[in-house]
A and B are shown apart, each in its own frame.
Chain A
Amino acid sequence: MSRLLPYPVLTALLLLMWMLLTSFSVGQFLLGGAVAVGASRAMAALQPSKPRLRRWQLIPKLLGVVTFDILQSNIAVASIILQGNRRERIPGFVAIPLDLRDKTGLAVLACIVTSTPGTAWVEFAPDTGVLLIHVLDLADEAEWVSVIKQRYEQPLMEIFE
């Protein structure tokens, strides 16, 4: 079983997506099934780390917080662009020491930081755990560090570690 189907959830999702995009018929089931099994076995060659979700019930809350924050920073960045260079604004880099080590957690944090307009993930040193981000409107460096650490890193550590 595990040799033939190393990732059963991934295979099932691929098959479901295939049939939703085409049609629900026996022919499409067989064709989609063949593609899904082949693709999930190709995935095994990449040897992805299997994430362990410890407290999945925190995910909806984090999702809500992130959606709201992205909307808020959308408005902030849009006003910065529309104001032009009339207002004093200092862009800059911020180094943040992270305690999160789980690879999937770091990947989700990267998605959050980059999707939020106004912050961009630049570099991460895996040995020291220091993350470098670029901030468009750098008013208070310590505030950005605490926002990233408390709003995003804390719940991600609870979910994944």
Chain B
Amino acid sequence: MNHLEDLPAWAALLTAFLVVLGAGLTLIGAIGTLRFRSFFERVHAPTLGTSWGTGAILLASAVCFSALGSRPIIHEILIGVFITVTTPVTLMLLARATIYRDRTEGNEGVPPRSLLRHPHDA
């Protein structure tokens, strides 16, 4: 653990706080997937991990390695941009797949297509 001992105190404490915050948010999100009862409620839970969960851990790593000056933080920026852009794509496709499956099976609690009509036409 040689490189961690070279960190200045403020950077070490900030890194520690951000790492625990990010991991905690991810854990709460994962607990949410267990607790919620319907799929559309469960869709909200992992976004805790992909928004500030990932953000806090990436920030922690950026703080740690820029304080050490040992390597550029290009990977952190790339991962952050990538997760922000891709998570909505996955979740939108999943939500549309679910609505399509629920409609073809005629399940209850599915929003009817008529909701998508313009309010002025109705």
Contact = CB atoms under 8 A, between A and B. Distances in A.
* A–B contact (CB under 8 angstroms): yes
Contacts, number: 110
Interface in A88-136: 91, 93, 95, 97, 110-111, 113-123, 125, 128-130, 132, 134, 136
A134 B88 CA distance: 14
Contacts of B117: 125, 128, 130
Given A20-B72, A122-B95, A132-B116, A111 B32 contact: no
B121 A128 contact: yes
Contacts of A129: 118
A45 interface: no
Interface in B48-96: 48, 50-52, 72, 74-75, 78, 84-85, 87-88, 91-92, 95-96
A48 to B, nearest CB: 14
Interface stretch (A35-43, A54-62, A77-85, A150-158): A77-85
B51 A82 contact: no
Given A21-B74, A81-B32, A120 B44 contact: yes
A91 B40 contact: yes
A81 B74 CA distance: 34
Interface residues of B, number: 37
Secondary structure dominating the interface of B: helix
Contact of A70 (B29, B32, B51): B51
Interface of A: 17, 20-21, 70-71, 74, 77-78, 81-82, 84-85, 91, 93, 95, 97, 110-111, 113-123, 125, 128-130, 132, 134, 136
8 contacts: A74-B48, A81-B29, A115-B51, A115-B87, A117-B51, A120-B91, A122-B95, A123-B116
